[in-house]
Amino acid sequence: MSKRTKILDLLQTAPGSDYTVMGWVRTFRNNQFIALNDGSCLANLQAVVDFENFDPSLLKRITTGAALKITGTLIPSQGKGQSVELKANAIEILGDCDVEVYPLQPKRHSLEFLREIAHLRFRTNTFSAVFRIRHALSYAIHKFFNDRGFVNIHSPIVTGSDAEGAGEMFQVTTLDLNNPPKNEDGSINFKKDFFGKATNLTVSGQLEAELAALALSEVYTFGPTFRAENSNTTRHLAEFWMIEPEVAFNDLDDNMDLAEDMLKYLIQYVMDHCEEDLSFLEQRLAEEEKQKPQQERSEMSLKEKLAFCLEHPFERLTYTEAIDILKNSTPNKKGKFQYPIEKWGADLQSEHERYLVEKHFKKPVILTNYPKEIKAFYMRLDDDGTTVRAMDVLFPGIGEIIGGSQREERYDVLLGRMKEMHIPAEEMSWFLDTRKFGTVPHAGFGLGFERLVLFVTGMTNIRDVIPFPRFPGNAEF
Ligand code: 4AD
Ligand code: MG
């Protein structure tokens, strides 16, 4: 295609020489000014056309959405808004775009509309910024762990186990659903299935990460996870990406330190490397906020919110302390919570988490030592026998962004907990083996990647920070 210069690079180049650029037309004004975007950065390149030198039939094909190859001379710009522009010498139409049917017009479209045309929304400023930041975060996660000597483990996507014991799994099978092989008692005979047993998509890579951590000491996974929970919210996806570090010889305090260091590192990374996109999204959020009634508006801009998280230590307190705060809180007393907090043992809903973070402490919070009844079987039992060494990291506007724990490393206690919670121990001898052969204290957590992207970009719906969201009733694209 002959040498292409990226617009990102061209905008930082001194004028004087000739270049070839390729990209998509955002607008074409006055038969003269083409705003071209190639996704390398938010900014468009202005290409100036002397229309007398070009065939009118070619100029007609320069429409919003069309793909062009332009060769020209980089010159200082006369106009406002850019320091250089490209004086077009040759224009080639790579792909036409019929504006009569092209759904993206150079105007503001609603996020709901853009979600329906997710195959085209990459071409908007908002979504290109979101996905460049998503990439930067993904890279920064690997960098963070690599710099600290962690080993990246690829945990399986098809498994036979339910890591969370919550039963929210998508089954994987090649059996004929209309005529599955049966056992004598009428149940389905999974021995005849592809893997010779019932399998599902993984809900978490944690259990496999634990196996690796008990040899490599410091590991992490970063992969897709699947939950068949019927949650139609702005914070849940059926397919989402999770980062799960697991560290041998770490206790709950070490685990909290790692989580806080990691989150701060990732936020700082985006502030340092994604200035243009972040500024654009900050502006977008500010405009969205203006639509809200005064009392619901955020007091802080996006960048202020991010900086605020870096400046303050996260508040750490136990579930029991949190319940006391919530029980005595104004919204609880005034009946404003949809789920009133009546007694110790209640599961915390997003409204409670957000009250603690946004109203009470006004900063990120780490809650620990939850009742064992509302947490997974693998969490280490506290000495009182009623709580476990769990930790949830709660973020403003998001609620739970991380869930983790110190793990139960004592064979007998773990086996007892599995029985109590009806986890099929006989199918998980491989997990229990680690507690028989050189067991050690260890801890880890899971960071929901899309919830992090949501927080950093200031977007409000999790369906807008993953390219093609999967949620109940939707698996388009
Ligand atoms: O709290 P969860 O369920 O914890 C685990 O899966 C553990 N095995 C993690 C570990 O200790 N290794 O999920 C962890 C995080 C949540 O805090 C949340 O950020 C995110 O994953 N998450 C979801 N994100 C989007 N959509 C969903 N349906 C999610 N469910 C959990
Ligand atoms: Mg959780």
Q: Name the residue with the closest Cα to ligand 1, atom 9.
A: 446
**Residues with C-beta atoms within 5 A of ion ligand 2:** 403
Which ligand is in closest contact with the Cα of 393?
A: 1
What range does the domain containing 224 cover?
123-168+203-464
Do 13 and 157 belong to one domain? no
204 CB under 6 A from ligand 1?
yes
Q: Are residues 227 and 290 in the same domain?
A: yes
pTM metric for this prediction: 0.97
Strand intervals (E) in 344-441? 365-371, 387-395, 399-406
Distance between CA 96 and CA 228 in Å, rounded?
41
Quick: pLDDT tens for 98-129.
Answer: 999 999 998 899 999 999 999 999 999 999 99
The three-class DSSP label of residue 158 is strand
**Which residue has its alpha carbon closest to ligand 1 atom 5?**
446
Q: Are residues 85 and 138 both part of a single domain? A: no
| Tokens found for residue 129 | 């910024």
State percent of the chain over pLDDT 90. Answer: 94
Residue 211, classed as helix, strand or coil, is helix
Higher pLDDT, 164 or 390: 390
Same domain membership, residue 346 and residue 241 = yes
Position 2 pLDDT exceeds 80: no
Look at residue 82 in the predicted model and tell me its pLDDT. 85
Q: Does ligand 1 have an atom closer than 6 angstroms to the CB of 205?
A: no
Centre of ligand 1 to C-alpha 242, Å, is: 7
Q: Tell how far the Cα of 66 is from the centroid of ligand 1, in angstroms.
A: 41
What is the CATH classification number for the domain harbouring 377? 3.30.930.10
Structural domains of the chain, count: 2
At residue 295, the pLDDT reads 82
Domain assignment present for residue 196? The answer is no
In a domain, 49, yes or no: yes
pLDDT tens for 431-446 read 999 999 999 999 999 9
What is the structure's pLDDT at 458?
A: 97
Which of 154-168, 213-227, 366-380, 412-426 is least confident? Answer: 154-168
- Which atom belonging to ligand 1 lies closest to the Cα atom of 236? 26
Residue 1 has pLDDT above 80, yes or no: no
407 lines ligand 1 (CB under 6 A): no
| Residue-wise pLDDT tens digits, 45-83 | 999 999 999 999 999 999 999 999 999 999 999 888 889
Structure tokens at 95: 């792909």
Closest CA to 102 of 179, 210, 20, 26: 26
> Are 257 and 129 part of one and the same domain?
yes
Average pLDDT over residues 366-381: 97
Pair 401, 287 in one domain: yes
Q: Closest Cα to residue 356, out of 405, 313, 314, 305?
A: 314
Residues 358, 338: contact at Cβ < 8 Å? no
Asked if the model's pLDDT at residue 328 lies above 80, the reply is yes
The finding on whether 465 has its CB within 6 A of some atom of ligand 1 is: no
**Same domain as 131, residue 270:** yes
Query: Is the pLDDT score of 292 beyond 80?
Result: yes
Shared-domain flag, residues 352 and 436: yes
Assign residue 74 the CATH number of its domain: 2.40.50.140
When pLDDT is averaged across residues 364-393 and rounded to a whole number, the result is 97
Claim to verify: residue 99 and residue 135 sit in the same structural domain = no
Alpha carbon nearest to ligand 1 atom 20, residue:
448
298 pLDDT tier (thresholds 50, 70, 90): confident
Residues 84 and 216 in one domain: no
> 283 Cβ partners below 8 Å, 6+ apart?
none
**Mean pLDDT for the chain?**
96
> In this structure, is residue 184 part of a structural domain?
no
Nearest-ligand number for the alpha carbon of 202: 1
Model pLDDT, residue 160: 92
Residues 130 and 18 in one domain: no
Would residue 219 count as lying in a domain? Answer: yes
What would the pLDDT profile of 220-269 be if each residue is shown by its tens digit? 999 999 999 998 999 999 999 999 999 999 999 999 999 999 999 999 99
Q: How does residue 165 score in pLDDT terms, banded at 50, 70 and 90?
A: confident
Pair 56, 142 in one domain:
no
| CA–CA distance, 386 with 36 (Å, rounded to integer) | 62
CB atoms within 10 A of CB 188: 15
> What pLDDT shows up at residue 245?
99
Could you list the beta-strand ranges (E) of 81-160: 84-95, 151-152, 158-159
Could you give the 3-state DSSP secondary structure of residue 283? helix
